[in-house]
Structure 1
Amino acid sequence: MVRQFSFLPSDRRRTGPDGRTQRYSHWRRYNTFYGLAFTTALSTTLLLAEVYQWRVTGYVFLLANRFPASVALVVQLVAAFFGLLHVAVICKLINYALRLRLTRVSVSLDTLRTWVDMSIPRIDWDLPLRFFFPVLFVVFLSLVPAALWAGSMTPSVSRTTDSGMLLIPSYEDVSMIREYPMMIGSAGPSLRTQKGFFTYSIGQQQSGQLLSSAASASSTGIGPHVHRKLDNTQFSYRGRSYGVGAPVGLMDQGISSNTQVAGYIYQEEGYLANVTCAYNTSSNFILSGPVNEWIYAASGNLPDSVDGSEYSNYIGHDGKAIVAIGVSFSERSPRRYLAIAAGEAYGFLNKTQCEFDFTPTLFNVTVDIGSLNMTVEPVSTMEDFNPQRNITRTVVRQFELMSNDMTNLYVSLLGEAFNSSIAAYKMSRSSASRNPFTEEEATLAGLTNSITAMADDMLVAYASAQLMVGRMFTQQPAKVYVYALQFGQPGYIYAIFSLNLLVMLAVACEAVRTRGWSALGRFNYLDPRDLIIAASRGGADIAQAADDIVDKRDRKKPTHVWLLSDPDEGNGSLVVNLKGDQHGHVRIVVAEEETGTDECDNMYVLDEKKSTFSFVDEEANETVRLKKSKMGIFGSV
């Protein structure tokens, strides 16, 4: 039979045949602390995952998105388990510390109840307030580890990076990028698919989309201008396209086929078109006529005319609704210009002139697959990938072809598109600033926006034609952003790692302070068996002492405040301590007063805050007197 004992290890006898003074095994003493191995492993893994941006993709990500409630349930259960490990260690530290203290101090029954509640932990609503609030604080703290574990493990949607490949247009062969006649049957090569219509005759066969771009070029909002690509991929540009981004939705199947892809970023070469428009009152490009019935001539020299003046015919009822654009056809001109000659209905456009500066540039193209939009940013200038300038020359020539084709007897569709852009600029400028502006400034700004937007879209259209019609492309690597699971939030991860570290430090400090709890006895005040046996070994004195306290308390007004119960009858103020005998037995006895007498009249105090005690060593048969002290939550020596 195993007996309880309280002697220090140095005083213990050898284990006898009857099992007395049985040793406290290593596993029984330290088993709870081994749970820190699991909490340390998990908290360290979570911290490393946050530092090195580890993310979970694939089937686990799909499973978590498909069954979020089940994932939440699993997270709560796991968090509760690991929180329980932390709380168990903390409670074990409290229990061991108080068990060691119990061998050296006297405690009231209320103090002992408080120790029990702090070691479990639980709320005892019948405790005096000075004991209740410390217990409440400990119980509240016991809820923190599980909450921190839940915050550090709850999965959320994040992103991780991967690599991918797409096809971008190649301009090694630009033989099909040239000016085609505007006559029916003379258009350049084209292709129509579910992804859109692609052609090398941009000004003729995609004029409707280009007019839409010109009309909406001046954004009326405060955010970046959003406009659609010229195909059916449903992608839109946020801000300028700069003539790049054609492969998006067309030649990125290797990336977009992955349903977990959030977006990607790649680099593409193109031309940064800088357009500057101004009024040139001395412009030589003018309207004249009619040279024939309903036929008017637009002719004159441009700043980059080399081989002669420009000339083209326009149809009009009376010449008032004509918007004629002149562009030099010379291949030797280093600059590109367009000049506008307009009739009375579009007089605000007459004698305007725009200069193009195409700079070979490397661009970053950022694609958001979820919202189907793209953002293009210039990175750096580069060597010209088309020194002959077939591309830029053909782009600018499309303006003349479109102005001729978009003018009828009564209206110029191109002039109406420019007018819409100018009106939108006025609205945007008026709402954004109260600074006055002239009609001339608004006209030039709106015209510049339209010409720039059309030039960018033409470059994208030719790039798309190279991909889809000419099948001229090259591979380009891309940085792919993939949806993934991120476990926990950084704040919670750092918090749980710190908490685990603090608990480990507390265990280490207590182990050093108590020399590995070498003085710890087997008696545990949390075990009802130990309490009952120890109390029975103390004899009937405890019951007699409790009766005496109650008898004396009946004649006094209660001085303590209890929270949710009736005033205590007085048992809580009974002060006891532990004694051991030569056989290793532990018994709970009533603490004696300074007098060392056994008289009941003076043995038990009415107020445990102002009590004095003495221990009687039975073997030495002498009274050890203690000084007067205040009974608190940690007992009194």
Structure 2
Amino acid sequence: MVRPIAAYFALLGLVVSTIFSLLALVANVRGWHSSEQFAVTVTNERATIAIIIQVISHSLGLLQICALCAIVSLSFQQHASSSPFSLNALRLMNSAFSLRFDWNLPWYFLLPLGLFISFSLVPAAIWSGTLTPTVVPNNITVPFSIPEISTVVLDENKLFGDLSSGDDGGCPWISGQTVDNKTQIGTFHTCLSRLSLLGSASSSSSIQDIPGREEDKAHVHAKIDRSGFSFIGRSYSAGAAVGLADMPEIMTPLAYTYAETGFYADVQCIFNTSSAYRLEKFDTTDNIVEVYNAIGKGTFPEGLNANWGTKANNNESDVAYQAHHFGYLAVDIFDWASAYNNNRTSYFAMAAVADACDGADINTCGYGFAKLHQMQCTVDFTARNFSVYVDAVGRTITVTPHETVEWPSYTDALLEELSAEHSQIGSNDGAFGGSQLGRALLSNMEILQAYRNESTPSNETKLQSVSDFVADLMDNTLISYSQSRFFGSRGKGLERRVVDANVARNVVVYGEKKFIVAAACINFLILVVFFVEAIRTRFWGHLCNLDLLDMASVAVGGSYGGTKLAAQVQNMGSSTILLPGSRPSARDFTGAVMVRLKNINGAMSAIEPADRPGTNFEERELLTKRSLSAESIFRRSNNTAADVETSKVI
């Protein structure tokens, strides 16, 4: 007969499934992924993507099952062309091809049928897991701009204006702005930013839950710009460009890391009862306000002077090393100043009006500034490499210090400038109603005191809180200075350099590895079955001229066989089949009948009973029992009829 073309088309479906299987396998092995734009599409169109994947996966699964059904049916029909087969076997093939249960089959046929139908559900499910797009983070290296400080020269880039002309009002002024000139994110003005610096430092000893890692705790504090990011732990002067520098290649970064060189400020504070830095009362004719001068000339360790920008102004008079403070009461007044020794160390000295409490408890007297009197902090700097990790989703920054590096040539001039910055925070501090600098220091002390559950702060708590305060202030000042250079300051151009940032962003990968491997294995198994059967049957070259899976062909083939099959059944007890009460057993009995195909005219085959009752032992036993039972019933029926006739004669 002509080979069933439809079956061969079903086999061609294996080509499609094989292509998909190979593509998925190669994509997984080589780490192929989509663009970030497609990841956004998948995230926004989840329902649509799910429908498309289900349609494709079920189509591929259908192609594989159709191919497997075609292989089985072709092999069965080739077997039927030369060997007898039972009608139960024909039922099994038809049920398997149509993927339905036939409960009239014996259990030993139902078992493989059930397994085959169950297996038919597997390929589509596996393909769904293979093709489902999964949004995963993927790392890529992109250029990232960070600040670069090339030189710091006091004469060329003064922090202070000319006091006599009123330029800058005596305030340090470091300014810069974004490239689009819309928002001055990078502006740093000590006078205007003082509250931001003090606000951050006033809670530098606090401990909070880390966003996204509630089981961990650390000091989490906002980055003092308009980026909306927060640092976990200290910033160590690194991370200035985070939230301000663009990544044109990345739409929505999840996280990124990069390396940056900065300064590690190690702060140690003590009470120095021999400290010469002090506040001296200045007698005035006005009794309404108290006036005190901070004496800064030679009162620091190493004989250093308090740095209020006197070098920049070339003013070496004693008055230049004094800061004037006004308050309604002596307890309102507090001051600190800073000095840099030009050898990687800065000093902070603090002073309150020592005798303002007149022997009262310094913890409760006035605003409590006396607790800070004669405290002295040493800040030792080292230049280091830092790794900056940015969680762009949680908007947090974690800075980790690493190895030390060579001391940059500009650093001494920079730290000299910053010591003046920090001194100005105290000298410009208003004392009416209590020094704001002193209040900020005590606020942080109270946070640490509460965390340690102390009724009154211990000396260790006092020193640690001030150490945290100074470290936070130093870190934020260095970051702000870096930002001012990043955006350009005082007419200088943008000072930036490009580093490599390892950025994680969302991409799409197709399926999980276990499903991809499973799909490849199933497809390979079906291919093996196909080639084995094709070789064994010589590519199904001896099929009969009758399609046993086509009801019309079977009906015609049965008619060509004439009444032989019906006579065979009748000879084995056809009267039993017609009894209503025995229909289930009659169907079993019919399925056990063995038939064969006989070529009639080269164009059609007839279905005839086989020469022997069956090749299966159970089928032969069933046929024998049914035949004997039918013969017994037939004899009893004849005897009953004879008795009736005899009684009528009598």
Task: Give the TM-score normalised by structure 1.
Answer: 0.76
How far apart, CA to CA, are the structure 1 residues paired with 2:241 and 2:33?
A: 29
* Structure 2 match to 1:7: none
Shift of 1:208: 0.9
Task: Choose from 175, 180, 188 the match for 2:160.
Answer: 180
| Structure 2 residue 65 is matched with structure 1 residue 87 | yes
* Structure 2 match to 1:362: 385
Task: Choose from 499, 521, 529 the match for 1:506.
Answer: 529
Question: Does the CA contact (< 8 Å) of 1:550 and 1:569 recur in 2?
Answer: no
SS of the residue corresponding to residue 266 of structure 2 reads: strand
Q: RMSD across aligned C-alpha pairs, in angstroms?
A: 4.1
Task: Choose from 185, 192, 195 the match for 1:208.
Answer: 195
| Structure 2 residue 260 is matched with structure 1 residue 276 | no
Shift of 1:49: 2.2
Task: Choose from 382, 389, 395 the match for 2:412.
Answer: 389
What's the CA shift string for 1:417-436, capped at 9, x where partnerless? 23333343455567xxxx99
Task: Choose from 325, 328, 341 the match for 2:339.
Answer: 328
Distance 1:186-1:318 versus aligned 2 partners, 3 A rule: closer
Shift of 1:463: 0.9
* Structure 1 match to 2:484: 465
**How do 1:334-373 residues align onto structure 2 when only pairs under 5 Å count?**
334-342=344-352, 344=362, 345-373=368-396
How far apart, CA to CA, are the structure 2 residues paired with 1:602 and 1:62?
A: 68
* Structure 2 match to 1:144: 122
Shift of 1:458: 0.7
Shift of 1:457: 0.9
Distance 1:520-1:383 versus aligned 2 partners, 3 A rule: farther
Unaligned runs of 5+ in 2: 211-217, 285-289, 308-320, 354-361, 363-367, 628-650
Distance 1:388-1:552 versus aligned 2 partners, 3 A rule: closer
* Structure 2 match to 1:576: 594
Code of the residue aligned with 1:341 in structure 2: it is: A
* Structure 2 match to 1:587: 606
What's the CA shift string for 1:344-383, capped at 9, x where partnerless? 3134434433332322223333445555444433454322
| Structure 2 residue 498 is matched with structure 1 residue 476 | yes
Shift of 1:481: 4.4
* Structure 2 match to 1:447: 466
Code of the residue aligned with 1:502 in structure 2: it is: L
| Structure 2 residue 32 is matched with structure 1 residue 54 | yes
Question: Does the CA contact (< 8 Å) of 2:146 and 2:499 recur in 1?
Answer: no
Task: Choose from 264, 267, 270 the match for 2:259.
Answer: 267
* Structure 2 match to 1:18: none
What's the CA shift string for 1:562-600, capped at 9, x where partnerless? xxxxx875455432232435866643333566799xxxx
How far apart, CA to CA, are the structure 2 residues paired with 1:242 and 1:308?
A: 24
Question: Does the CA contact (< 8 Å) of 2:382 and 2:404 recur in 1?
Answer: yes
Shift of 1:338: 1.8
| Structure 2 residue 282 is matched with structure 1 residue 295 | no
How far apart, CA to CA, are the structure 2 residues paired with 1:492 and 1:239?
A: 42
Distance 1:497-1:225 versus aligned 2 partners, 3 A rule: farther
Q: Indicate the structure with greater helix content.
A: 2
Code of the residue aligned with 2:607 in structure 1: it is: I
Shift of 1:40: 2.2
Code of the residue aligned with 1:392 in structure 2: it is: L
SS of the residue corresponding to residue 320 of structure 1 reads: helix
Task: Give the TM-score normalised by structure 2.
Answer: 0.74
**How do 1:65-104 residues align onto structure 2 when only pairs under 5 Å count?**
67-102=45-80
Code of the residue aligned with 1:270 in structure 2: it is: G
Shift of 1:39: 1.9
How far apart, CA to CA, are the structure 2 residues paired with 1:321 and 1:602?
A: 115
What's the CA shift string for 1:65-100, capped at 9, x where partnerless? 554443333322222222222112222233234334
* Structure 2 match to 1:190: 175
Question: Does the CA contact (< 8 Å) of 1:43 and 1:497 recur in 2?
Answer: yes
SS of the residue corresponding to residue 196 of structure 1 reads: coil
How far apart, CA to CA, are the structure 2 residues paired with 1:111 and 1:149?
A: 31
How far apart, CA to CA, are the structure 2 residues paired with 1:133 and 1:102?
A: 22
Moved more, 390-399 or 449-458: 390-399
SS of the residue corresponding to residue 76 of structure 2 reads: helix
Moved more, 86-95 or 504-513: 504-513
Shift of 1:171: 1.3
Code of the residue aligned with 2:74 in structure 1: it is: Y
Distance 1:283-1:139 versus aligned 2 partners, 3 A rule: farther
SS of the residue corresponding to residue 211 of structure 1 reads: helix
Shift of 1:330: 4.1
Distance 1:554-1:34 versus aligned 2 partners, 3 A rule: closer
SS of the residue corresponding to residue 87 of structure 1 reads: helix
Distance 1:113-1:189 versus aligned 2 partners, 3 A rule: same
Shift of 1:443: 3.1
How far apart, CA to CA, are the structure 2 residues paired with 1:422 and 1:546?
A: 105
How far apart, CA to CA, are the structure 1 residues paired with 2:98 and 2:456?
A: 77
What's the CA shift string for 1:365-403, capped at 9, x where partnerless? 344555544443345432233454222333344333213
How far apart, CA to CA, are the structure 2 residues paired with 1:595 and 1:114?
A: 16
How far apart, CA to CA, are the structure 2 residues paired with 1:403 and 1:607?
A: 114
Shift of 1:454: 1.6
Task: Choose from 392, 398, 405 the match for 2:428.
Answer: 405
Code of the residue aligned with 2:203 in structure 1: it is: S
Question: Does the CA contact (< 8 Å) of 2:448 and 2:461 recur in 1?
Answer: yes
SS of the residue corresponding to residue 208 of structure 1 reads: helix
How far apart, CA to CA, are the structure 1 residues paired with 2:417 and 2:205?
A: 25
How far apart, CA to CA, are the structure 2 residues paired with 1:495 and 1:578?
A: 40
How far apart, CA to CA, are the structure 2 residues paired with 1:602 and 1:214?
A: 97
Shift of 1:129: 5.4
How far apart, CA to CA, are the structure 1 residues paired with 2:621 and 2:169?
A: 124
* Structure 1 match to 2:213: none
* Structure 1 match to 2:316: none
* Structure 2 match to 1:618: none
* Structure 2 match to 1:227: 221
Shift of 1:414: 2.5
Question: Does the CA contact (< 8 Å) of 2:558 and 2:608 recur in 1?
Answer: yes
How far apart, CA to CA, are the structure 1 residues paired with 2:265 and 2:276?
A: 23
Distance 1:44-1:595 versus aligned 2 partners, 3 A rule: closer
Distance 1:464-1:388 versus aligned 2 partners, 3 A rule: closer
Moved more, 345-354 or 112-121: 345-354
Question: Does the CA contact (< 8 Å) of 1:241 and 1:375 recur in 2?
Answer: yes
| Structure 2 residue 204 is matched with structure 1 residue 217 | yes
Unaligned runs of 5+ in 1: 5-21, 561-566, 609-637
Code of the residue aligned with 2:192 in structure 1: it is: Q
Code of the residue aligned with 1:208 in structure 2: it is: L
SS of the residue corresponding to residue 385 of structure 2 reads: strand
Shift of 1:118: 1.9
Question: Does the CA contact (< 8 Å) of 2:196 and 2:224 recur in 1?
Answer: yes
Question: Does the CA contact (< 8 Å) of 2:577 and 2:583 recur in 1?
Answer: no
Distance 1:415-1:100 versus aligned 2 partners, 3 A rule: farther
SS of the residue corresponding to residue 147 of structure 1 reads: helix
Question: Does the CA contact (< 8 Å) of 2:95 and 2:101 recur in 1?
Answer: yes
Identity, in percent, stands at 24
How far apart, CA to CA, are the structure 1 residues paired with 2:567 and 2:459?
A: 109
Shift of 1:506: 3.0
How far apart, CA to CA, are the structure 2 residues paired with 1:376 and 1:549?
A: 93
* Structure 2 match to 1:19: none
Shift of 1:145: 1.4
Question: Does the CA contact (< 8 Å) of 2:84 and 2:597 recur in 1?
Answer: no
**How do 1:112-151 residues align onto structure 2 when only pairs under 5 Å count?**
112-124=90-102, 127=105, 131-151=109-129
Code of the residue aligned with 2:234 in structure 1: it is: R
Moved more, 48-57 or 60-69: 60-69
Moved more, 109-118 or 586-595: 586-595
| Structure 2 residue 413 is matched with structure 1 residue 424 | no
Distance 1:282-1:259 versus aligned 2 partners, 3 A rule: same
Question: Does the CA contact (< 8 Å) of 2:78 and 2:542 recur in 1?
Answer: yes
